[in-house]
Copies of this chain bind each other. A is one copy, B any other.
Amino acid sequence: MAAPLARPAPERPQFVRNTWYIAALRSELDGPMLARTILGTSVNLYRTSDGTPVALRNRCPHRGYPLSEGTLGPDDVITCGYHGFRFGPDGTCLSVPGQQAVPAHADVQTYPVVENGPFVWIWMGDPALADPAEIPAETGFADPSFTFVPGHVVIDANHQLIADNVLDLSHESFIHATKIGTRDVAETGITSRSDESRWLVEASRIMPDAECPPTYRERTGLQSPIDREQHIHYFVPALYVLDVSVVKAASVHDPADGPRRPYLGKVVYGLTPLSARRTHYFFAIGRDYALGDAAMDEAVREGQLCLIEEDAAAVAILQELEDEEGPSPEVSTRLDTAALIARRMLARRLRAEAAAPASAR
């Protein structure tokens, strides 16, 4: 076998642990137990018979075999598929074969999980700090005027490369030129804000009298020019929400036609590191029009998968180059402001977490 050509992945800061990460689509927990690697750790996800989602460390304390390879009984008890250790949904080891007493330290670690919107969220850090109320409401999942199309892919790149991608939307004009990108995006400046108390970076781009990109033309029937807006809420490092608005441009609007009603969209991304160089990419694409239109749902899903394919190819190329040649020196522009703020905030958050008492890790 050949030696790997690639250099070791460059040292990245460790992962933030005390935050809610999206772990799975809710629908993924309807089948057999689900093994999923999150922050480099294999986790076993399933529902108890009453529907409660559960997340356990996916290695039996006996010899490390994945619990997801075992069986889940109607009594919500997992039997390890290697030597038969049995565990309840709270991680307690209930019995071991060949002896009456359960040995010490035989319980398996559990992780707080919660359902919110179309997703199951997980807390990989200190369970005492896990407050479901901290999952940002900006997703719009609770807003009945929106409908969402969710999905999940794995991207072969560090989560930072993906965050860079989605925070600098000028790439739409190039990577996605045939779908949602027009020159307006790359040519229009952004305004950025940040809120350290929520680990939040915001960026907005207002594009009056803009060209209507093909995807919006198809979905809304709008023609150029349009008034187009993009508002980003990025909760470092795990959740990205982009509010988009398109509407017939005010400059060509005939007041006799009544008020302009914008088409609103929400692009929700969950960035959940699988490892230092792979990332789960969850998405939920929301809209406030064509509710209940299954054909539109399908068009949105397919369109989103195409966009992700283009982005995933780009960041995977960057990851490969970084593996082989090391990080590239960088030159930044005004459009990179939000991404740079986010990177610095991530560094502060990692430092803060590293400095916290062990109980909070």
Chain A residues near B (Cβ < 8 Å):
1-9, 37, 40-42, 59-66, 69-70, 79-84, 96-99, 103-106, 156, 164, 168, 170-171, 173-175, 186-190, 275-278, 314, 316-325, 327-335
Q: How many angstroms from the CA of A63 to the CA of B331 in the assembled complex? A: 7
- Taking A42-B321, A59-B325, A99-B333 as given, write out 8 further A-B residue pairs in contact, using a Cβ cutoff of 8 Å, ordered by the A residue number: A2-B316, A40-B324, A64-B330, A82-B174, A83-B174, A98-B189, A98-B334, A105-B329
- Majority secondary structure of chain A interface residues (helix, strand, loop or mixed): loop
Q: How many angstroms from the CA of A333 to the CA of B171 in the assembled complex? A: 57
A-B contacts, 27 of them at CB < 8 A, read: A1-B323, A3-B7, A3-B277, A4-B4, A5-B275, A5-B276, A5-B277, A42-B321, A59-B325, A59-B328, A60-B328, A63-B328, A64-B318, A64-B321, A65-B314, A66-B317, A81-B314, A83-B335, A96-B333, A97-B170, A97-B333, A98-B187, A98-B334, A99-B333, A99-B334, A103-B331, A275-B324
6 smallest beta-carbon distances between A and B, as pairs = A64-B328, A97-B186, A3-B6, A3-B323, A98-B335, A61-B331
Q: How many angstroms from the CA of A81 to the CA of B174 in the assembled complex? A: 5
Q: A316: which B residues are within 8 A, CB to CB?
A: 2
With A4-B1, A98-B188, A314-B82 known as contacts, the answer to whether A331 contacts B62 (CB < 8 A) is: yes
With A6-B4, A83-B171, A277-B5 known as contacts, the answer to whether A98 contacts B327 (CB < 8 A) is: no
Q: Are B333 and A103 in contact (CB under 8 A)?
A: yes
Q: A325: which B residues are within 8 A, CB to CB?
A: 40-42, 59
Which residue of B37, B61, B84, B188 is within 8 Å of A174 (Cβ)? Answer: B84
Q: A59: which B residues are within 8 A, CB to CB?
A: 321, 325, 328
Q: Min CB distance, A48 to chain B, in Å? A: 22
Q: Are B320 and A84 in contact (CB under 8 A)?
A: no
Q: How many angstroms from the CA of A60 to the CA of B324 in the assembled complex? A: 16
Q: Are B103 and A332 in contact (CB under 8 A)?
A: yes
Q: Min CB distance, A255 to chain B, in Å? A: 33
Q: A190: which B residues are within 8 A, CB to CB?
A: 98
With A96-B333, A97-B187 known as contacts, the answer to whether A327 contacts B64 (CB < 8 A) is: yes
Q: Min CB distance, A279 to chain B, in Å? A: 12
